[in-house]
Amino acid sequence: MTNFLLSIVIPVFNEKDNIQPLLKRLLPIISHFQYELIFVDDGSIDPTPKLIKEEAKTNQKIKLISFQRNFGHQMALTAGYQKAQGNCVITLDSDLQDPPEIIKDMILKWQQGAKIVYAQRKKREVDSFLKKTTAQIFYKFINFLSDTRIPDDVGDFRLLDRTVVDFINNLHEQSRFLRGLVAWGGFPAQYVFFDREKRHSGETHYPFSKMLNFALEGIVSFSTKPLRLASYLGFLTGFIGFLGIVYAIIGKLFFTGYLVSGWTAIFVGIMFLGGVQLITIGIIGEYIGKIYQEVQRKPPFLIKETINL
């Protein structure tokens, strides 16, 4: 069945060397469908927008949203979801690490009734040991702390039914952790598996520091468990302190000759309690920061121009 509109949303940021190779592989695959191809330029400072505009002149189905500045990958996807008109929407990065050839399999799963089709990485030998290790830690850590389980080894390469896209667009969070929002809805999901390919050109825009911030964003957006863990840690340190008091009293009353006094216990106690307090304050601060962002109600992104939209 091809009597539906397929929307493909591609966020780009300084990807000038990947645009034409992507189109060369992608267009023959989707040419059998009614489609729209929406590029969202996240404030590129290279010729990426110019190259997309040139392609859009010859193909009206290629569309462009340009941000005023860099607002982040999740905001670019959000803008694409808001503009997409398709019966189903596929989000895809431009670096060709996620092969567009499996799009037909994703559409087949959708036509069989799935509201969400995740593209799950089966192999990722092209990634460095650090990248693979941090990715595994990311999914285990976020699923341990989050109230909503996010499937392992899935990124933002996925297909969403129109129902799910409308659901996402009607959520009002200023902080958009889309992997969590998609999973939170509980819609029926299926998987298509693939081997991750080497990035076609350029450097990754998600180094370890950004992955760490991304994980923290997801945890704070979808769970209050860190606050609960901070409370448990407070009870634990209080209990340890109580045991120290009992030890001191017993030693004073019954073992005065063996009681060793010194600065070590005081120093360790102060450092331990100080560390716990700072961690707890930091956790609380993250949640207060999220509340502050929500109360401000700033627009999540600013659009500079659109092409063919």
Using alpha carbons, list the distances in angstroms from residue 136 to 139, 155, 158, 288. Answer: 5, 12, 19, 28
| Domain assignments of the chain as residue spans, ordered by start | 5-223+300-307, 225-296
pLDDT of residue 135: 67
Q: Which residue did the predictor score with more confidence, 32 or 140?
A: 32
Is 202's pLDDT higher than 60? no
Q: Which residue did the predictor score with more confidence, 212 or 303?
A: 303
Q: Give the Cβ contact number of residue 240 at 10 Å.
A: 12
Beta strands in the chain (DSSP E): 5-12, 34-41, 62-67, 88-91, 116-123, 154-161, 189-195, 303-307
- pTM of the predicted structure, to 2 decimals: 0.76
pLDDT of residue 262: 61
Is 70's pLDDT higher than 60? yes
Cα 59 from Cα 77, distance rounded (Å): 22
Going by pLDDT thresholds of 50, 70 and 90, the confidence category of residue 292 is confident
CATH 3.40.309.10 fits 5-223+300-307, yes or no: no
pLDDT, mean of residues 58-81: 94
pLDDT of residue 270: 75
Q: Express each pLDDT in 224-280 by its tens digit.
A: 777 777 777 777 777 777 777 777 677 667 766 555 566 556 766 776 777 777 777
pLDDT of residue 307: 94
Q: Which residue did the predictor score with more confidence, 234 or 171?
A: 171
CB-based burial of residue 57 (10 Å sphere; 0-12 exposed, 13-18 middle, 19+ buried)?
A: exposed
Q: Give the Cβ contact number of residue 250 at 10 Å.
A: 11
Using alpha carbons, list the distances in angstroms from residue 56 to 24, 95, 98. Answer: 14, 19, 23
